[in-house]
Structure 1
Amino acid sequence: MYELKDRDKIIVFTGPDGSGRKSVAEAVGHTFGMDKVISFVTRNPRPGEVNGQDYHFITHEAYREMERQGEFLESVEISGHLYGIRSVDIENNLYQKGSVYLILNYEGASILKKIYGDKVIRLFLYADRRTVEERERNAGLTEDVITAHLNYYDLEMGNRTTCEHAFENYDLGQTTYEITNTLEAYLQRDLVDKD
């Protein structure tokens, strides 16, 4: 098992579905040269999602077998679908790069915080309900998926103050800039131009 070093950081992007977590996370990850730890999920891909890039899409049976083998560090059920992260994926990425990022719901983010403590930095992204709904509709999600996500919106928003940092996300460039500056203090890589 990999022993975490002082500078190792696990950056978790969380917040309501439709808050722009994926776009911001990918931009920030690229800026710092961090790899994404990809979750396993039992649902079908949504419009624009790619297997092995957004999630590892697997069958319910395959997921349960991995669970029986003790492969998952965290496992949650959302709307009848199972989502899980393997500890080996986190630790291999940390060993290679020193920092990783994940995109998780609040429950998953909290589980990682309990396991890894101050190595985990939770970044909460949010936008108002109308904007979230509009983004999801523009992404081509079905009405039942949008409704299910909006049913969790208030619950997710209630967790904003428990994360290390929260960012309102209406402008990708501005949000990415703010998060990059915030993470500089944690990652100590001096990549940001201070001019």
Structure 2
Amino acid sequence: MYNLKEKEMIFVFTGPDGSGRKTISKLVGDTLQMKSVISYTTRERRHYEVEGIDYHYITREQFLEAEKNEEFFESVEIDGNFYGIKEQEIVDRFESKGCIYLVLNIEGTEQLKEKFGDKVIRVFVHVDRETAVQRQKERGNSEEEIELHLNHFDQDLLYKEQCETAVENYELAHTVFEVTQTIEKYLLEKTK
């Protein structure tokens, strides 16, 4: 397993589906010139998702083979689909930049936090249930997908209290500014 060096940190954006965590992480990452690491998944690609930007989409067999070869840094199964981050991709990103960011579900976030403790900063992004549903409808999620996500919504919200920082995402520019400032504070602390 990769050992984080002194100045290396992982910022993990997590929270309920429809909260805007991917959008915010991308904008904050671009602002701070942080590199992202993309998860692998066995679930079907949604019509609005792009290979290599949202996820790397692989078959169940490919995932299980990579898991057997211990390629994954973390992996979880949610609603019958596998998700994971490959360790080599994290190593490659750290070679070019001292901090990276990930967008993970709560289970994956917890795995990283358990492995690396204070080196992992959890950024919990949230909105109310109605807003989350509306956003999922706007991006074209099916009623079935939305219902599946709502089954996790209340449980996901409880995780907010365990995270280092939490932000409500109702106005994108304000949220990005707030999260950018928060991450900059962590980066400044790290360089002291």
TM range (shorter): over 0.9
Aligned pair 1:78/2:78, yes or no?
Answer: yes
Aligned pair 1:160/2:172, yes or no?
Answer: no
The percent identity for this pair of structures is 48
Does the aligned pair in 2 maintain the 1:21–1:125 contact within 8 Å? yes
CA distance in 2, matches of 1:81, 1:150: 17
1:50-107 C-alpha deviation (Å, 9 max, x unpaired): 1111100000111111011111121111111100111211122112111110000111
Aligned pair 1:145/2:145, yes or no?
Answer: yes
1:142-191 C-alpha deviation (Å, 9 max, x unpaired): 111000001100010011100000001111100010011111111229xx
Shift of 1:3: 4.5
CA distance in 2, matches of 1:184, 1:34: 11
1:181 corresponding residue in structure 2:
181
CA distance in 1, matches of 2:29, 2:76: 24
Specify the code of the residue in structure 2 equivalent to 1:171: E
CA distance in 2, matches of 1:30, 1:48: 21
The within-5 A match list for 1:29-178 is: 29-178=29-178
Does the aligned pair in 2 maintain the 1:17–1:132 contact within 8 Å? yes
Specify the code of the residue in structure 1 equivalent to 2:148: A
Aligned residues: 189
CA RMSD in angstroms comes to 1.3
1:4 corresponding residue in structure 2:
4
Specify the code of the residue in structure 1 equivalent to 2:86: R
Does the aligned pair in 1 maintain the 2:2–2:87 contact within 8 Å? no
- Stretches of structure 1 that go unaligned for 5 or more consecutive residues are 190-195
- Stretches of structure 2 that go unaligned for 5 or more consecutive residues are none
Runs of 4+ in 1 over 3 A off after TM superposition: none
Specify the code of the residue in structure 2 equivalent to 1:83: Y
1:95-126 C-alpha deviation (Å, 9 max, x unpaired): 21111100001111010011111110000000
Does the aligned pair in 2 maintain the 1:38–1:55 contact within 8 Å? yes
126-135 or 90-99: which moved more?
Answer: 90-99
Secondary structure of 1:19's counterpart equals coil
Specify the code of the residue in structure 1 equivalent to 2:149: H
CA distance in 2, matches of 1:85, 1:117: 18
1:14 corresponding residue in structure 2:
14
Q: TM-score normalized by structure 2? A: 0.95
CA distance in 2, matches of 1:91, 1:34: 14
83-92 or 144-153: which moved more?
Answer: 83-92
